Amino acid sequence: MPELPEVETVRRGLVKLIQNKTIKNVKVIYPKIITGDVGQFEQQLHGKSIQSIGRRGKFLLFNFDQGLTMISHLRMEGKYFVKSSLDPLEKHTHVIFEFVDGSQLRYNDVRKFGRMQLIKTQQVKEVSNLAKLGPEPLDNQFLLADFIQKLAGKKKAIKPVLLDQTVVAGLGNIYADEVLWLSKIHPLTPANKLSPAQISLLRQQIIKELTAAVAAGGTTIRSYTDAFEHSGKFQFDLHVYGRQGQPCQRCGTEIVKIRVAQRGTHFCPNCQRVTK
């Protein structure tokens, strides 16, 4: 599933490829991708220009003129491609945005879990999924004092707490495992048992790791590519994710994979001890 670095990489690619383009027409092939009325979705985008493309957590925000925004979540395997209208259609393309210059933005999604919603730009912050999001980890709004306070109220294991988008936006399974390894915190440690020093280190590692992953164009596991259909490079910099059975890069102990809150979780049993 694309996490913050992958969604941010997609956003940057789309800015280069389609910002300022004007939509000639929209064709929805698989209606379930659209939240709300499909006919209205196609009609309202007719003639609109893409003024900017933003991101909040793992959501892409396509801002059109006349105060319209399309919120897009890629979920498991959603992808955007930019093609010529003459190019043959790929098998899993579900939505086509045709521009007046003859190019097309195509939304492709093998699993069909991705969602798009068109709303007024001024209402973006009120949409339930976005309204509840925690701070952006790469903005200066991700404050240590707030993070300490949020974790103090959580008895759950730190791993699922990091996946909770209301605590901090943008982390998913891969980067949660990585930042816990980097911070030497066991994924089962109750969030409210972490010391301020541990939380401070964890916050620093989240910022550092996501910054590095964005710079590398994200992580490609299975199928993620950006809008240029390029793979990310950060999979070569992972320390624990997918490395079960291999030696820890810090101490040589075998990396273990367990399930925590239904998610495969990788850690070093020597470097990462549960805080009692």
Known catalytic residues? 2-3, 58, 263
Binding flag, residue 270, Zn ion (CB under 5 A): yes
Please identify the residue of the shown chain whose CB is closest to the bound Zn ion. Answer: 248
Residues 6+ apart with CB under 8 A from 216: 5, 232, 233, 234, 237
Residues 6+ apart with CB under 8 A from 138: 4, 207, 210, 211, 214
Closest separation in Å from C-beta 199 to Zn ion: 21
Binding flag, residue 249, Zn ion (CB under 5 A): no
How far apart are the C-alpha atoms of 167 and 180, rounded to whole Å?
15
Is residue 92 a known part of a binding site?
yes
Binding flag, residue 184, Zn ion (CB under 5 A): no
Binding flag, residue 247, Zn ion (CB under 5 A): no
- Which region holds residue 19: left if phi is over 0, alpha if psi is between -120 and 50, else beta? beta
Binding flag, residue 167, Zn ion (CB under 5 A): no
Is residue 111 a known part of a binding site?
yes
Nearer to Zn ion (CB atom), residue 194 or residue 271: 271
The structure tokens listed for 264 are 């495969």
Contact stretch for Zn ion (CB under 5 A) within 67-75, 96-104, 184-192, 267-275 = 267-275
How far apart are the C-alpha atoms of 150 and 152, rounded to whole Å?
5
Closest separation in Å from C-beta 273 to Zn ion: 10
Contact stretch for Zn ion (CB under 5 A) within 10-18, 23-31, 190-198, 250-258 = 250-258
Strand extents, DSSP E, the chain: 23-28, 34-35, 50-56, 59-64, 68-73, 78-84, 93-99, 103-109, 115-120, 256-260, 263-267
Binding flag, residue 198, Zn ion (CB under 5 A): no
Binding flag, residue 251, Zn ion (CB under 5 A): yes
| Interface size with Zn ion, residues (CB under 5 A) | 7
Interacting residues with Zn ion (CB under 5 A)? 248, 250-251, 253, 268, 270-271
